Structure formats: C-alpha cells, structure tokens
Amino acid sequence: MLACDLDRTLIYSANAFFLDTEDHLAPAMVVAEIYEGRPISFMTRAAEALLVQAAQEAVFVPVTTRTAAQYRRVQLPGPVPEYAVTTNGGVLLHHGEPDGDWQVSVRSLVSGGCAPLAEIEAYLGRAEFAGWILKLRSAEDLFAYAIVDRAALPAEFLLELESWCDARGWTVSLQGRKLYCVPAPVTKQHAVTEVVRRLGAGRVIAAGDSLLDRPMLEHADIAFRPAHGELDDAGYQDAHLRVTEARGILAGEEILRRMLGLVRG
C-alpha cells in the first residue's frame, strides 16, 4: 500500500517548483488542480505516468490535510482511489464518499480529550496576533488553520503556541504560509492504520514532507520525504527513511519512481 501526502510531496504550486534549470530544460508539467478557473497545482508529466502505473500495481491512498472539498479539486490520474484520507485523518473517504462510522469515532476521541475548537480559534484570533495571522479558518469543524505572514511571525509566538496547544491536547504545524492547529487524535497515521486494517494490507510505503506526516512515516515499513519542507528543515532522519536527491516538483517525480521500483522489486 502506498500512502502519499499530496501538497509539496506529489503536487506543487508554482512557488514550490524549486527548479534550478534553464527554462527550456524544465520538465513538462500537467495541471493537478484548478481553483476559481485558474491552474494552481501541478505534477510533472512523468510523475503523472508513474502514478498511473503505481495505482495499477499497488493500493494507492492519497493522504492530505486538505478538507474533503479541497481534496476533490485535485485531479489525480486514473480511477477514484478506493480510500482517501482527508482533513488530516479526520475524514476517511471510501470510493469518494465520507465514512460516517469513522467520523463518529474521530469526533468521540476529540471531544473526550481535547479543548474545543472554539477555544483554539479564540486564542488565534487575539488582536495582538493580527500582525501575522492574516486569515483564520476551520476545517470540517475539526481543526483550525491560519494564513500567516511568515516574515512577520515571531519565532517565540510559535513556541508559545505549541506549548499552549499541547496543554489542551492539540498539535501545531507550520507549512508554508499555513499554520495548523490540530487535535492530537486527528492524525493521518490513525486513519492510515484503519485503511490497512480494512484492506489487510501488508507492506506500507509512505511519503510526506510535514510534521503532520511524521507519524505516518514513522509507522511505515519504508518512508520517503522530499529534500524540502518542514521535515527537511527539522533534519528528520530514520533508519527506514529515504530522502530524495531532488527538491520541489522533481522530488515528487523521484518519490513515485522509487516507490514504483519498490513495488516491482
């Protein structure tokens, strides 16, 4: 089973290409997402072909912090995956539809051990944070995320927020311009474990770039991370972890190529 994060692992915005070649040597690309009539996420053409092959030869499970609605904008090649994990594990899609039993289970865990979402939103919405928290949103009424000004965001704010959230059963992750506050039980790994149980999957190969992906990578038999992103900044290493040579959109292609090699190995 291949459990793969999407943004900045398999698909990339133009700001995350990290291409250092001359324009005429850049890889051919395909659009992976349209938003408000504009293409905003991409894969290389080679990565798209590799994903088609990988999904034919193994069980491919997209795993994302995106909400189900945001995930549905992503145009992955091939048929709809049997399972997809969205909302950082808070929503499990089965043939594209939310699994009600899973949602009840997750919300029960959250209500039993975490501060309510409203308390987190109230804290993030304080006037003194307005200089770097530009927009505040919630995802499926499960967790909060903010659009931030990275240049204005003080390092001490992040440390204080992590401590404050930890005391309330929440975790914090900063990915690009998005700051996530997520209840501790709402994890990608929790949902991936459920998919493994349902499918009776054997070996799990996982890929991701952020701290929210780390538990999923730690529990996989083999894991990949790109040479960029939150985990790269943290210097995350592990015996079963493989780091790409490439950065940016070419790292996504490399991950799929190496995953497919393991599937065929």
Does position 176 have pLDDT exceeding 90, yes or no?
no
- Give per-residue pLDDT as tens, 40-94: 999 999 999 999 999 999 999 999 999 999 999 999 999 999 999 999 999 999 9
Query: In the 3-class helix/strand/coil scheme, how is 37-100 assigned residue by residue?
Result: CEEEEEEEHHHHHHHHHHHHHCCEEEECCCCHHHHHCECCCCCCCCEEEEHHHCEEEECCEECH
Domains of the chain: residue spans and CATH: 2-107+186-264 (3.40.50.1000), 117-183 (3.30.1360)
| Rounded (10°) angle between helices 45-57 and 249-264 | 30
Task: Examine the pLDDT at 256 and tell me if it is beyond 90.
Answer: yes
CA dist 85 → 14, 58, 92, 180 (Å): 24, 17, 5, 17
pLDDT value of position 227: 98
Percent of the chain at pLDDT exceeding 90: 98
Please state, rounded to an integer, the average pLDDT across all residues of the chain. Answer: 97
pLDDT for position 175: 86
Quote the pLDDT of residue 16: 96
Partner residues linked to 91 by β-bridges: 86
Residues 6+ positions from 27 with CB-CB distance below 8 Å: 19, 44, 45, 46, 249, 250, 253
Q: How far apart are CA 156 and CA 29, in angstroms?
A: 39
